[in-house]
Amino acid sequence: MPESKISTSIDQKAANDLVSQLKMISSLFFKISNSTDLERKEKILDEQTSLVFFFLQKPNLYSWIQKKELTDRVALKSFVFIDQYENVFGHKDLSEHEHQALDQILLELSQVEKFYDQIGGVIGYHKECLELILEQQTDKVQQKDLLYIAPKGLDLTQDSKLVKESIIEGIKSQTLLSELYPVGGAADRLNLQDEKTHFDLPAARLEFLGRTLLEGIIRDVFAREYLYFKIFGERITIPIALMTSEEKNNHRLILDIISENQFFLRPKDSFKVFSQPLVPTFTEDGKWCLKEPMKLLLKPGGHGAIWKLASENGVFGWMEQKGKKVMLIRQINNPVAGVDFGLLALVGYGVKQKKKFGFASCPRRIKTAEGMNIIKYSKQNDVGTAALSNIEYCDFEKYGIEDAAKSANEPYSIFPSNTNILFSHLASMKNALGKIPFPGKLVNFKPIDIYHSQLGSVKAKVARLELLMQNIADAFEVEVNEEIKEEELPSFLTFNQRHKTISPTKKQFVPGSGLVETAVGCFYDYLKNAKELLENFCFFKLPHFPQEENFLSLGPSFIFLYHPALGPLYSVICQKIKNGRLFDGAELQLEIADVYMENISIEGSLLIHAKNLMGEQKEGALYFSNQTGRAILKNVKIKNKGITQASHNVFWKNKLDREESCFIYLEGYSEFVAENVVLDGDYYIVVKDGERVVAYKDGDEVLFRKELMSKEARAFFNYKIKEDKEVIVELNQEP
């Protein structure tokens, strides 16, 4: 065993108090742990001298609690046993006006008791907290037989045969895929509020590029389903499960977002929503915190609760009933994860190599609040074990890991970043849960203003027991020989460019603090991706791309936004959009999938929106079909005054003022065609369902001719997979 000693970061008395609390709890814990027999648990609690004495002094409370349900009785008696009751209610007996407050606390405690039943309920939760607090305050000597190795993974930045095969396998495997999103985060650092009520809002309500983060993720799902439909002619529906929480009314707001968007025109039974319990917070001395008198300060218990809750809420069985074999897991606050082929390659490689678990990774910025992916190798008694896993940033010191760069000339770590974009084999997850129901337990103290005791409102460092969903990977540890062969591990990693993998929206942008982890920074990365796509794939000439400081003061030099169904693969988009130029300040927005553009020049704003972007909408549902809005622009120049220089433009929200623009709106099954023309000035062109509008030059004028579309809708593009494992898109013009 490694040696340890109490650090001087806390005084010896505080450390001794924590040790005493832990000893007292441990004496009972071994009798009740791993027991789901609540009657036996209550009997053991009732025999404790401290509880007998406590309730003798509070007969009203004892009489009141004995009338409650068994789970409530056990939860409250556990709360008393761990010496937290008087921290909340003081030393007096229960009074009449305190019944309602205690009822609410009972409800909250019962949820903790049920969720953590496998480790002793409320008592087990508190025991884990005390152990982790003490562990944080302990200088640990690392075990000599424990090594951390940087994984290499499948390098998606290199154009290899295996990468191409993984992408195509990923497209084919959409039929096997289900998706799981933790969307219940508090996102306190975003300081997000309702503009009218000023109530605090969770991350799910953040608007990015004109829509909520949740809607953005659903658009990515549609894009992959549509790509499958265009290649194979079959409509598939990927089931989506979402883990919410009650923090900031998150659960209700998520349901509202889904309802307001008519289930995003998807089948109602393709969604399953379940909520995680909120858990008590505590100070460094182990005292539970209050947000106000007689009200516990609760926070979500971390996204690692997702596996156990998904199992208990029948999510995995629901996915399997729909014929799904694998899962894609991603967080709501990372909008860039769906660009190009990163998600497809992750899923494809996992399926192709028959892996049980996987990480999508990228270079990790040092000194940021990001975990790192590592291969943990340990050897005891001549037996070596290895697992591809994660170590969270707040645990680096604990594990003796230096947050150091590869070299002095770059800001990236030796180890790749954990992005919380995960692949999982459904059947394997059940076995993993049997080994690790509560993965990645940690406490991470942060300063907060709270009302945390009978003394009143004070500032203190506060934490809660957090679970990390990525550390379920530890359950896939295997025995290995002296030489670790990464490709033989049951888990895997894909490695991609950072700006195409992660750009989280975790905190509010503050001038002078930098763009990392802000929505402004995410928009900057989004435009980096647009630059790469337009310059390197579509062969556009673009204005100079600004450095961060100029981006903040002057705004973007161009804007290119598009619906992911345009691709999402860059290799598909570049077959639809070829050659062109965006002038300084130009804007191109494409809410359309069936568009062909060649040799286009934009000085100002061009916006094309198709109502039937991927097919028809019938009775609140979207049906993929050839009945789409289409557009062809060849050798076209767009000239208008475009976006104004108004100070209230919010580029990352796509809330912009335009003095002039060329706006083309395609209603239903319709088409706009323009060749060899200059559209100079302010245009608002509406093409009705069943019509084609052709822009043509007549002398010095541009005129518009209306035609009827063919009654039998043909595919605008033909998609197919070539032998060399690439998707080919061919324009299928009507004669």
**Closest C-alpha among 610, 603, 609 to residue 679:** 603
Lowest mean pLDDT among 445-459, 517-531, 710-724: 445-459
Lowest mean pLDDT among 51-55, 146-150, 236-240, 524-528: 146-150
| pLDDT band at residue 5 using 50, 70 and 90 as cut-offs | very low
Token readout for 96 is 């009449």
Q: What is the pLDDT of residues 288-301, one digit of tens each?
A: 999 888 899 999 99
Average pLDDT value for residue range 557-581: 98
Q: Are 33 and 124 spatial neighbours (Cβ–Cβ below 8 Å)?
A: yes
Sheet containing 629-639, strands listed edge to edge, beginning at the edge strand earlier in sequence: 540-541, 577-582, 594-603, 629-639, 670-680, 691-698, 701-708
| pLDDT band at residue 197 using 50, 70 and 90 as cut-offs | confident
The ranges assigned to domains in the chain are 4-136, 142-500, 527-731
Taking the whole predicted model, whether its pTM rises above 0.85 is answered as yes
Average pLDDT value for residue range 613-624: 93
Lowest mean pLDDT among 32-41, 69-78, 258-267: 32-41
pLDDT of 6 above 60: no
Average pLDDT value for residue range 18-34: 83
pLDDT at 648: 84
Question: CA distances (Å), 84 to each of 11, 128, 264, 280, 451, in order?
Answer: 22, 15, 45, 11, 15
Average pLDDT value for residue range 594-615: 98
Alpha-carbon distance of 164 to 724, in angstroms, equals 8
Average pLDDT value for residue range 708-717: 93
Which of 16-25, 34-43, 482-491, 540-549 reaches the highest mean pLDDT?
Answer: 540-549
Where helices occur in 183-340 by DSSP H, the ranges are 213-232, 250-260, 306-312, 315-321
Q: Are 219 and 227 spatial neighbours (Cβ–Cβ below 8 Å)?
A: no
| pLDDT band at residue 7 using 50, 70 and 90 as cut-offs | very low
SS3 567: coil
Contacting residues for 6 by C-beta, under 8 A, at least 6 apart: 12, 15, 137, 138
What is the average pLDDT value for the chain, to the nearest integer?
Answer: 91
**Closest C-alpha among 355, 479, 378 to residue 427:** 355
Q: Are strands 491-495 and 727-731 parallel, antiparallel or unpaired?
A: unpaired
Number of residues assigned to the chain: 735
pLDDT at 455: 67
Calculate the CA 210 to chain-centre distance.
Answer: 18
| pLDDT band at residue 631 using 50, 70 and 90 as cut-offs | very high
Say what percent of the chain tops pLDDT 70: 95
pLDDT at 198: 65
Token readout for 623 is 């049906």
Average pLDDT value for residue range 420-437: 95
- Angle of helix 70-81 relative to helix 38-46, nearest 10 degrees, comes to 40
Alpha-carbon distance of 371 to 471, in angstroms, equals 11
Average pLDDT value for residue range 299-308: 95
Token readout for 526 is 């989004």
SS3 243: strand
CATH topology of domain 142-500: Spore Coat Polysaccharide Biosynthesis Protein SpsA; Chain A (3.90.550)
pLDDT of 68 above 70: yes
Contacting residues for 117 by C-beta, under 8 A, at least 6 apart: 36
Average pLDDT value for residue range 175-194: 84
| pLDDT band at residue 453 using 50, 70 and 90 as cut-offs | low
Return phi, psi of residue 162, to 5°.
Answer: -65, -35
Look at 513 and 527; give whichever has higher pLDDT.
Answer: 527
Contacting residues for 568 by C-beta, under 8 A, at least 6 apart: 220, 223, 224, 227, 338, 339, 340, 341
Contacting residues for 521 by C-beta, under 8 A, at least 6 apart: 503, 509, 514, 515
pLDDT at 729: 97
Q: What is the pLDDT of residues 356-413, one digit of tens each?
A: 999 999 999 998 888 999 999 988 777 789 999 999 988 888 888 888 898 888 889 9
Say what percent of the chain tops pLDDT 90: 71
Look at 434 and 511; give whichever has higher pLDDT.
Answer: 434
pLDDT at 8: 37
pLDDT at 33: 67
pLDDT of 36 above 50: yes
Look at 50 and 142; give whichever has higher pLDDT.
Answer: 50
717: left (phi over 0), alpha (psi -120 to 50) or beta: beta
Token readout for 499 is 């700006």
pLDDT of 185 above 90: no
Q: Are 662 and 606 spatial neighbours (Cβ–Cβ below 8 Å)?
A: yes
| pLDDT band at residue 34 using 50, 70 and 90 as cut-offs | low
| pLDDT band at residue 3 using 50, 70 and 90 as cut-offs | very low
pLDDT of 596 above 50: yes
End-to-end Cα spacing for the chain: 79
| pLDDT band at residue 138 using 50, 70 and 90 as cut-offs | low
Return phi, psi of residue 151, to 5°.
Answer: -75, 155
Q: What is the pLDDT of residues 637-655, one digit of tens each?
A: 999 999 998 778 999 999 9
Lowest mean pLDDT among 21-35, 347-361, 539-553: 21-35
Question: CA distances (Å), 233 to each of 164, 287, 328, 360, in order?
Answer: 21, 60, 23, 29
SS3 335: helix
Inter-residue long-range contacts of 26-32, CB under 8 Å, 24+ positions, other chains counted: 26/127, 28/81, 28/123, 29/120, 29/123, 29/124, 29/127, 32/120, 32/121, 32/123
pLDDT at 139: 54
| pLDDT band at residue 141 using 50, 70 and 90 as cut-offs | very low
